[in-house]
Amino acid sequence: MTSYYDALETRDPAQREAQLLAALPRQVAHAQRTSSAFAQILQGVDAAAVTTRDALARLPVTRKPELLERQKASRPADPFGGFAALRRGPGMPRIFSSPGPIYEPDSAARDYWRIGRALFAAGFRAGDLVHNAFSYHMTPGAFMMESGAHAVGCTVFPAGVGQTEQQLQAIAELRPQAYTGTPSFLRILIEKAQEAGSDISSLRKGMTGGEALPPTLVDWFAQRGVTVYQSYATADLGLIGYETESRQGLVVDESVIVEIVRPGTGDPVAAGEVGEVVATTLNPDYPLVRFGTGDLSALLPGSCPTGRTNMRIKGWMGRADQTTKIRGMFVHPAQVADIARRFPEVKKARLVVSGEMANDVMTLKVESAGAPQGLDARIAEAIRDVTKLRGSVELVPPGTLPNDGKVIEDARSYK
């Protein structure tokens, strides 16, 4: 099945990096000029100087809670909080709503969310009929997949969610080759078809999202004749990564610059270390610069065996927002990072909350090589200063703490 959506996928990695970094200062300047939110967030930033990943890493990270707060503050005059470069009219055919509510603009641009690349990698081809079982109600998921399918040259049946019997009838009569939707609903369709004796054997491939797609479920579908892949996309950023037939992580899309940062900070982690996915898009209509997804992942070494040369990430590995309430006070990953930054001897830190509810024990485990005498006491003072709570410090050798992206571990007993 190995063929490519376009020549971008097989670029020399050095060429890709040079082209992305050449586009970066233009995108930063565009965001400052067309987005009132980024005019404030990036105030004083010399866009022309943002030509390296190190320079990019010095810019602030914007996360969903900040986006939501800016949207709330500017409604109803501007439901997008100053982030969108688009204005209502022919260039913005729809407005969508995600939980929050967070409002997202649609664009008249072809394959606005860039999903076509992911569908092509999953085997979708021109002339295929796609049974699209994502919701067409308020949220953008169905339109993301539909626009990608149109970019590939497919025809789409807008099935939406629910009404299982009618959907089975449509599949049996229209004979679609492909499915888009959640993996759980595809499983329901297959099981109901078996019970009812409906012939849905035309379905041979699928692209799922919105839920985890574990290998066991991939195998379950394969045993029933459907080859299913997954993509990683958000309503804000569009496609971030997509699965290929190699099943070895997710290849990063060609129009985003992805960083993996330590949760609660904007600091990139070492290659292979788990952290939060932060993305900068080259989308002119919604120019998000260093947008934190809140999702954990890690970079994989090497390139995809299919010949696609872009970097790969492991896929979704949990949530980065580990804010925890301790003795009635909220403690944030950013506070743990603030404590660690005060001490150059600290290589990595992890706050472990143990004990029973109402009897919390807070221990900051710190990786440090050759720690000077009294370091633990000084760190304990910093814990009190930053969090207003008392905590103990445990010094451990480098490499001791798990590589799972956790900055705060809630190990309390809730019995």
Per the structure block, which two tokens stand in for 191?
């099981």
Burial of 301 (0-12, 13-18, 19+ CB in 10 A): exposed
Q: How far is the CA of 76 from the CAs of 66, 70, 109, in angstroms?
A: 17, 12, 25
Q: How far is the CA of 387 from the CAs of 301, 336, 368, in angstroms?
A: 37, 9, 21
Phi, psi of 337 (to 5 degrees): -65, -40
Each residue's pLDDT, cut to its tens digit, for the chain (415 residues) gives 669 999 999 999 999 999 999 999 999 999 999 999 999 999 999 999 999 999 999 999 999 999 999 999 999 999 999 999 999 999 999 999 988 899 999 999 999 999 999 999 999 999 999 999 999 999 999 999 999 999 999 999 999 998 999 999 999 999 999 999 999 999 999 999 999 999 999 999 999 998 889 999 999 999 999 999 999 999 999 999 999 999 999 999 999 999 999 998 999 999 999 999 999 999 999 999 999 999 999 999 999 999 999 999 998 888 888 888 887 788 888 899 899 999 999 999 999 999 875 578 999 999 998 888 999 999 999 999 999 899 999 999 999 999 999 899 988 875 5
Per the structure block, which two tokens stand in for 239?
């496609």
Of the candidates 116, 71, 130, the one whose C-alpha atom is nearest the C-alpha of residue 97 is: 71
Q: Which CATH class is domain 324-410?
A: alpha beta
Q: 145 in helix, strand or coil?
A: helix
The identity of residue 2, as a single letter, is T
Asked whether the beta carbons of 279 and 311 are under 8 A apart, the reply is no
Strand partners, 261: 268, 276
Which CATH entry fits the domain spanning 13-319: 3.40.1440.10, 3.20.20.60, 3.40.50.12780, 3.50.50.60? 3.40.50.12780
Per the structure block, which two tokens stand in for 73?
């503050």
Q: 254 in helix, strand or coil?
A: coil
List the chain domain ranges: 13-319, 324-410
Asked whether the beta carbons of 179 and 205 are under 8 A apart, the reply is yes
